[in-house]
Structure 1
Amino acid sequence: MLNEALKGASYLDVFDHQVAKYPTANALTSKTLTYTYGEVARQAKSFALALKSHGIYPGDKVAVGISRNESLVPLLLAIWSLRAAYVPVDPAFPQQRQSCILENSRAKIAIFDHNKIVPKFGGSVVNLNELVARSSALTVSNNVSLASDTADKNDVAYIIYTSGSTGNPKGVAVSQANLLNFIESMAIEPGLANNDCLLAITTISFDIHVLEIFLPLFVGAHLILATREESISQSLLRELIDSRNITVMQATPATWRMILENGWRPKRKLKILIGGEIFPLDLKATLLRAAKEVWNMYGPTETTVWSTCFKLDSYKKVYLGRPIKNTRLYIVDEKLEPVSEKSSGELLIGGEGVALGYYNNDTLTDKMFITLKSGERVYRTGDLVKKGPDENIEYINRIDNQIKIRGFRIEPSEIEQVLAQHSLVQQSVVVASELSAGDVRLIAFYMGEPDKNTTLRDFCKQRLPEYMVPQHFIYVTLFPMTANFKIDRKALAREGVDRLGEAESIYVIDPRDDLDRSLMYVWASLLCINKISIDDNFFDLGGHSLLVLQAIKEMKVATGLDFPLSVFFESPTIRQIRCHIGKEERRASNVVKLNNARHGDPIFCMCGVQIYAELAECFQGLRPVYGIFASEEVTFLNAEANNQSIDFSFDALVESYKSALLRQGRPQALTLVGLSFGGFICLEVAKKLIAEGVVVHNTYLLDSYTDISIYRSCRGLAADAIKCISIEGPSEMFKRFLGKIRKFIYSQKPEIRKSAESAVNDQKERERAFDRAARVFMKENNTYAIDCVLIKATETYFGFGMRSYQDYRLTEYVKGKLRIHNIKADHIEMLDGKCVKNIYDIMQQYEPESAIKND
């Protein structure tokens, strides 16, 4: 609460009071330094003098497009001290949108970082470095005052531009009186004290930054300013919250979901403010566990940030809450008459938070800011609400088609008007579809001509900010209609979820190896797209900043590698990302989910990925099947191929496979399958998992043999010699072997054939490496009290005159039951066509019915 001496004072009057009261207290901390209250005031005064030398006077507009650093807050205060207004211009916006904002706001100057390209407009551009240098050269006394003696409460404080239904953004002009009422109310409820530490993470082009930046300085608290990189990184935000002893933080539901994922809690319980979009009920319990208080905040930009707040408590529902200080709410019908008690209607907001209007747009101002019969000026929110218990307002829906995604308010018609300018588009409809909790996608359906590449996306990117560019463009021949013959947007939103998978890559580039396959699977799953390429741009495929964090997490689960957030934004294709991580990719343990089954006990296939693709198809809809090719195996295969000597550790290899398997979650029960040497990996992994309480239904050894599995037969020697010399000739023996490999390759689907061809050249090295690994396995002399199924290839060629023992002498290792089945095939053909069906049928004899849970 303000003391009597400050009643009627301006925001800067109160800030000056805090500077005089706490001159050496920490006011602002950025990534690089900390300012005290006195230092913030002096820096702001220096900036004000420098701005004045650029001709800034009362009523002028100053566009601000700088990064989130220590200069940002003093600069905004400096603008106010000159009775001017700031206009946020996000440097990430397309040039056309920046130009529209600069021209519409009639900005006198625009302040940008030194390396930014600024579109031409009627004012002048000032480089931040130049402004800092000029201000540093000025002498400012220790006892500075920022408040102006001639300040007027109707001075414009800032102009925030939001999405507009006319095709251009609209600027909401907020006065100093609006600002002061809002800040005074927030200081009381939800409340902030001078011993609090608030973390600010929001861009200034989004109006909730007003609370984050100006509330702490109003009450004498400590403001921590996160960089853009920190504000979108889960790990960096968590580190900031704990290391800076944050007590209060405000964010959108999507950001809170990211921070508190997987049960993470801050060391110190927070006062949590959440708003900007509909409160997701599934997040309620998570927030309450991490907080001492949780407040749901609501309000449009036109009524100064937040107009209501609600403290979460025993109510099952989460309400918009009650009005803040000097704010009045009205629920009316289509004729603007009050609705009956508990009936729904449009929410109108009146009081001291109602903004001046849309800058330089009187027509729209008169439409949205109306005067009631009582003479009170109110804003029409377009939100359908009703009264709940204790006068709390309950949100129902939008009256119009407006969308909110990640806190940003979007008018679909603005995007539709941009698309209408392109020759491919006859008509378009833009909707939002929620794919999963927190993952809302913007989808543009259009009639006209199909876009076979990224033409429409590129067109929108040149004209709209990133958050307004649809993630997906879907061609239709007709739009669904309602009974009243209007386009059914709800039906399109439902249809969007089902049709995302139709999108395909514009590139025809096959995966180069299993690491590519692992990463491509992760992206395809997250983006709900069937086919992608290593050269596809993550964001062009529908990705967004919060989905990046999920992608990085899933990519680590799939490969065991860490992928830096900065690399993802700089190089958003799989090919580029792999170039950045360089030699680190040698540590990859690649895991690829080979079918789309979501339920049932998983099947893990060892020592390969694509070779198990046909087997995985057999379990489609029944059980998920994964292929694993682990890092230690990659290491010794590379060493063998390059004739390098390495110390091969069988235990390390097994641990690598087990780790890769468990990264997919810790299943209660599973099945293991391994071809060749992969079978021996299965034995050891099964032994370790069983010891940890995991149920291993069965372990399948597909033609797994070692040196002791075969013996030289005199009869076999003679038979082989006669056959090879008289029919084929000795030189044809090896060609026959490679011919079978090629036959296997060319039986595959066209999209994997090219990458599989390299197997012909690599097969000798691979088999030699596996033989070497198998010899190490034999020396371990391990035994396994495990029931196994050995599926033998009866046509496997072991060498001139060599034959195999019936059980491959595996009973010397396997002390449980060893069931043996034969398939007429050779080693290479085991996982091909009809043989795969035979293996599937054999597996079905032993797999329990409980392992299958149909999707």
Structure 2
Amino acid sequence: MEAVLNNTAVDYPKNKPLHSLIAESAAKYPDKIALRFHHTALTYTELNNTANRLARELLKKGVKTGDIIGLALDRSPEMVISLLAILKTGAAYVPLDPEYPKDRIEFMLDDSAATILITSTKYKGHFASNTTEVLIEEALSSSADHSNDEPDTNVTGQDLAYVLYTSGSTGKPKGVQIAHHSLVNLMYSLQKAPGITSADKMLAVATISFDIAGVDLYLPLSAGAEIILADSITAKDGRALLDIIRGHNVTILQATPYTWRMMLEVGWDDYLPITVFCGGEAMAKDLAERLLSRAKVVWNMYGPTETTIYSIIKKVTDANDITIGWPVDNTQVYILDEERNNLTDGGIGEIYIGGVGMAWGYLNRPDLTAERFIDNPFAPGEKIYRTGDLAKLKPDGDIVYLGRIDHQVKVRGYRIELGEIEHNLGKQPGIKQAVVIAREDTPGIPRLVAYVVLESGQTGIPDKSVLDNWDKALLEVLPEYMMPDDYVLMDVIPSTPNGKIDRKALPKPDYSHINRSGEYVAPRTSNEKLVADIWEELMGLDKISIFDNFFQLGGRSLVAVKIMARLEQETGKRLPLATLFEYSTVEKLAARLEIDAEAITWESLVPIKPKGSKMPLYIVHGAGLNVLLFNALAMNMDEEQPVYGLQAKGLNGIDEPLDVMEEIAANYVDEIINHDPVGPYAVAGYSLGGLIAYEMAKQMLALGKDVKMLAMFDTYADQTQIYDPWLKRKLTNTWFFVKQLAYTPVLLVQDPKRTIEYKSREIGRRIQKIYKNIFPDKVKKKEGFSAYTDDIHERSLAAQRNYLLTPVNIVIELFRAKKKTFYMDDFEFLGWRPFALKGVNVHDIPGEHNTIFAPPNDKQFAKVLQECLDKAAESRD
């Protein structure tokens, strides 16, 4: 198998320097656009001639073959011109992203012994180093009269092209040295597969400090294609990238999985005839599925900086079978065990790479070079690079990537040595020990978590002032992408029996950071006193601390309505009930009252429990319109289970309530998709909300969304009678009334007290409705919250009466209250069998219709619901 895998020998012009490929494109396509940037467009002739003139200016300043030149320019045509000009002089460049920390850039300049720094007037004098500063504006002006001819320099394929610094495990970046011939080989190989022609347009988004920028720039220029260069702000904006792709007919884009996800999550739902190069980190199955359905072709690209950008590539055709593929031209790949035996039988081992892409090693680091670039046991006299990546071979020779063997990680496409973060964090005052790991508690969203032992012995969450100091210190020496997302203070770092750090035993951070009540703390402001007094009065409690949590105190929907109504009465500010999810303490709710009324938002989507790695659950309100009653259910579910509620539009008394079921559902669907454009989705509804959820699922399926679960929380499939003939309606209702009367004795035997309460309330509602219709002028008009909730409720009922249920190709998970308080034609499936074409799964839960969310029923309900959700998340359509 190895012979087949490594049968990659191909002739290539190994003596050619990289820039000669671009010069050949200029000769072949002189008037073709080579580079676009905003409103600027340069032809191949203009690009190549300008680079020639600038190279001559640099030579005039004493630059010679073998020199190293730093380049710190914002993304612009001048940046590309400067890169080519440096190569044409015979010098090598060090790419420096000006957005990186000043200290880091200065280290790279000093470590590389750069003789010149090309920068712009914007950064004049900004970087302290021993280099001679050349301002690009002045250099281009001075070079205007120079010859357009290629400069007379003897640059060969064996000369150094660039030194690119990657994260270093000892606390300092390390410079990887790449020669011209390695880049030339890669360009020729990639021209064939994945393939590029002069008709292509490639959008360039990678920072030049990331090695894949070499493919962004040199691959299209070597093939006569067009580069569309994105500025640094656009490169981070998914919507802007999609606009460019559509507006400029981009045919190729290379990006990390993080960037592809960013684009998918801002509305990329249509097909685009684009070739996807996905590199920088492992491709996940869900990402592959989405890209395959939207793009022309998808390529998975793998390779460390030390072996020249990409070493192994694969055209992805099946999201269930993602590999990194086969080596590029003139590249050898081996999967070796700890004794460096070649594992051709499918065993798991470390990836070693050899061939013409091999770097010279690390600049000024002979020890590290010797450690990572070892003698090739299969080709005497040659070297192979040990990647630290795990993989195995499939029977057909495809390589399956299995992750890192050490503590180097990739987060959002950036390769990060965790040791570099630990090294710099450990230097901060008061820190005894620091360990950093990458966690992915939410799939697709990796986070860097720092576990810190303080000399003081403090545990838990660091004080905000301390965090600010650490962040400030780290940002001075590390780029932003290497900053820890979370900190956990520990009394001791766990270790294995042999004394090594046990990283697997490091605990999951408390992402919520919710304040817990401790000793009583009295109100400090007038608003805190107002909130505390209202809580104490309406909740029947004494001495509520400003840090006490509404829900932990036993707060429920009914008292929440009273609290918000009283606050509106006292302050004139109307707050959503859902405010209590985010501002659940006296202190937070009082602070919320300080905000201008215009700034208070009344979105339908409410984060009940937004944190967690599992598939989120979206629950639609019942007849009570708000979602506060779902809190206890959510808090009893798995720690990793996010839960969101959907509250009725118009609860603020300003927005016009909706009275058409399809429009109500569409409003909620819009909010869910805006929150999570990707999915998959789990939608549930309580009582009336079940009908809304049913229509939502129907609309989401029509949009091509992946609805993993549709759940009904004790919802009956009430089919409208509005389309039935008058006589049929009368006969149906009369017969239903007879069956209700006949079933009442059964209910009385089961629970006489509750049945009498329910029937009395139902009769009272009917009498009140008749009275309102006969004597509308005598009915006292409600005001405030009660008035507009009544209006919304009536409109919701109107929407229900006019809504025609039609069958949908979906399965319904029916959570049915065990206790019955009223008659139904279908006690078993609550009327859903005809409408769920894939079937109805029934789950009995304790309580009756109005108490399924109340303690202690909420705990059992949560358990059953969680099991159902987990099963749905694992299922395949």
Report the TM-score range of the alignment, normalised by the length of the smaller protein: 0.5 to 0.7
Give 1:56-205 correspondences, 5 Å limit. 56-116=63-123, 118-135=126-143, 138-140=144-146, 144-146=148-150, 148-205=152-209
Does the C-alpha gap of structure 1 residues 249 and 156 become closer, same or farther in structure 2, counting only changes over 3 Å?
A: same
Native 8 Å contact 2:285 2:320 kept in 1: no
Q: In the aligned structure 2, how far is the partner of 1:687 from the partner of 1:17?
A: 62
Q: Structure 1, residues 423-461: CA drift from partner, whole Å, max 9, x if none?
A: 222112111111233211111112124432213333322
Please report how far the alpha carbon of residue 314 of structure 1 lies from its aligned counterpart in structure 2 after TM superposition.
5.8
Please report how far the alpha carbon of residue 349 of structure 1 lies from its aligned counterpart in structure 2 after TM superposition.
1.8
One-letter amino acid matched to 1:452: D
Native 8 Å contact 1:185 1:325 kept in 2: yes
Q: In the aligned structure 1, how far is the partner of 2:21 from the partner of 2:617?
A: 63
Q: Which runs of 5+ in 2 are unaligned?
A: 1-9, 517-522, 529-546, 550-575, 578-593, 674-680, 701-709, 719-757, 803-823, 826-846, 867-877
Q: Structure 1, residues 659-698: CA drift from partner, whole Å, max 9, x if none?
A: 653423698652379xxxxxxxx99999999999998938
Please report how far the alpha carbon of residue 479 of structure 1 lies from its aligned counterpart in structure 2 after TM superposition.
2.5
Native 8 Å contact 2:276 2:297 kept in 1: yes
Task: Report which stretch shifted further, 482-491 or 775-784.
Answer: 775-784
* TM-score normalised over the length of structure 1: 0.66
Q: Structure 1, residues 408-430: CA drift from partner, whole Å, max 9, x if none?
A: 11111111111221222211211
What secondary structure sits across from 2:672 in the alignment? Answer: coil
Native 8 Å contact 1:331 1:385 kept in 2: yes
Native 8 Å contact 2:18 2:157 kept in 1: no
Q: In the aligned structure 1, how far is the partner of 2:17 from the partner of 2:24?
A: 11
Does the C-alpha gap of structure 1 residues 509 and 293 become closer, same or farther in structure 2, counting only changes over 3 Å?
A: farther
Please report how far the alpha carbon of residue 710 of structure 1 lies from its aligned counterpart in structure 2 after TM superposition.
13
Residue 495 of structure 2 corresponds to: 481
Q: Structure 1, residues 486-512: CA drift from partner, whole Å, max 9, x if none?
A: 2122332xx33x54344779xx999x9
Q: In the aligned structure 1, how far is the partner of 2:683 from the partner of 2:427?
A: 55
Q: In the aligned structure 2, how far is the partner of 1:318 from the partner of 1:689?
A: 33
Q: In the aligned structure 2, how far is the partner of 1:5 from the partner of 1:446?
A: 52
Give 1:772-851 correspondences, 5 Å limit. 841=851
Q: In the aligned structure 2, how far is the partner of 1:582 from the partner of 1:26?
A: 53
Please report how far the alpha carbon of residue 118 of structure 1 lies from its aligned counterpart in structure 2 after TM superposition.
2.4
Native 8 Å contact 1:600 1:853 kept in 2: no
Please report how far the alpha carbon of residue 599 of structure 1 lies from its aligned counterpart in structure 2 after TM superposition.
7.7
* TM-score normalised over the length of structure 2: 0.65
One-letter amino acid matched to 1:424: G
Residue 449 of structure 2 corresponds to: 443
Please report how far the alpha carbon of residue 68 of structure 1 lies from its aligned counterpart in structure 2 after TM superposition.
1.4
Residue 429 of structure 2 corresponds to: 423
One-letter amino acid matched to 2:393: K
Work out whether 1:343 is the aligned partner of 2:347. yes
Does the C-alpha gap of structure 1 residues 649 and 11 become closer, same or farther in structure 2, counting only changes over 3 Å?
A: closer
Please report how far the alpha carbon of residue 206 of structure 1 lies from its aligned counterpart in structure 2 after TM superposition.
0.5
Q: In the aligned structure 1, how far is the partner of 2:852 from the partner of 2:484?
A: 48
Work out whether 1:223 is the aligned partner of 2:227. yes
Please report how far the alpha carbon of residue 294 of structure 1 lies from its aligned counterpart in structure 2 after TM superposition.
2.2
Native 8 Å contact 2:70 2:93 kept in 1: yes
Please report how far the alpha carbon of residue 274 of structure 1 lies from its aligned counterpart in structure 2 after TM superposition.
1.5
Does the C-alpha gap of structure 1 residues 584 and 653 become closer, same or farther in structure 2, counting only changes over 3 Å?
A: farther
Residue 22 of structure 1 corresponds to: 29
What secondary structure sits across from 1:391 in the alignment? Answer: coil
Give 1:626-775 correspondences, 5 Å limit. 626=645, 628=647, 630=649, 634=652, 636=654, 661-662=668-669, 663-664=671-672, 670-671=685-686, 697=715
Q: Which runs of 5+ in 1 are unaligned?
A: 514-529, 533-557, 560-578, 637-647, 674-681, 718-765, 788-815, 818-836
Give 1:475-624 correspondences, 5 Å limit. 475-492=489-506, 495-496=507-508, 499-502=510-513, 589=603, 591-595=605-609, 602-604=619-621, 613=628, 616-617=631-632, 620-621=635-636
Q: In the aligned structure 1, how far is the partner of 2:264 from the partner of 2:792?
A: 44
Percent identity of paired positions between Structure 1 and Structure 2: 30
Please report how far the alpha carbon of residue 23 of structure 1 lies from its aligned counterpart in structure 2 after TM superposition.
0.8
Task: Report which stretch shifted further, 368-377 or 262-271.
Answer: 262-271
Does the C-alpha gap of structure 1 residues 308 and 586 become closer, same or farther in structure 2, counting only changes over 3 Å?
A: same
Q: In the aligned structure 2, how far is the partner of 1:851 from the partner of 1:502?
A: 23
Please report how far the alpha carbon of residue 214 of structure 1 lies from its aligned counterpart in structure 2 after TM superposition.
0.3
Please report how far the alpha carbon of residue 16 of structure 1 lies from its aligned counterpart in structure 2 after TM superposition.
1.6
Native 8 Å contact 1:118 1:125 kept in 2: no
Does the C-alpha gap of structure 1 residues 620 and 767 become closer, same or farther in structure 2, counting only changes over 3 Å?
A: farther
Task: Report which stretch shifted further, 196-205 or 112-121.
Answer: 112-121
Q: In the aligned structure 2, how far is the partner of 1:690 from the partner of 1:186?
A: 44
Which of these residues, 348, 361, 364, is aligned with residue 360 of structure 1? 364
Native 8 Å contact 1:589 1:656 kept in 2: no
Native 8 Å contact 1:13 1:146 kept in 2: no
Does the C-alpha gap of structure 1 residues 361 and 649 become closer, same or farther in structure 2, counting only changes over 3 Å?
A: closer
Q: Structure 1, residues 683-734: CA drift from partner, whole Å, max 9, x if none?
A: 999999999999893899999999986999xxxx9xxxxxxxxxxxxxxxxx
Task: Report which stretch shifted further, 773-782 or 189-198.
Answer: 773-782
One-letter amino acid matched to 2:511: L
Q: In the aligned structure 1, how far is the partner of 2:792 from the partner of 2:194?
A: 65
Residue 736 of structure 1 corresponds to: none
Native 8 Å contact 1:606 1:627 kept in 2: no
Residue 238 of structure 1 corresponds to: 242
Q: In the aligned structure 2, how far is the partner of 1:5 from the partner of 1:399?
A: 34
Residue 301 of structure 1 corresponds to: 305
Does the C-alpha gap of structure 1 residues 330 and 531 become closer, same or farther in structure 2, counting only changes over 3 Å?
A: farther
Work out whether 1:252 is the aligned partner of 2:252. no
Q: In the aligned structure 2, how far is the partner of 1:776 from the partner of 1:490?
A: 55
Q: Structure 1, residues 597-646: CA drift from partner, whole Å, max 9, x if none?
A: 9887724279997xx7477336643795737475x66584xxxxxxxxxx
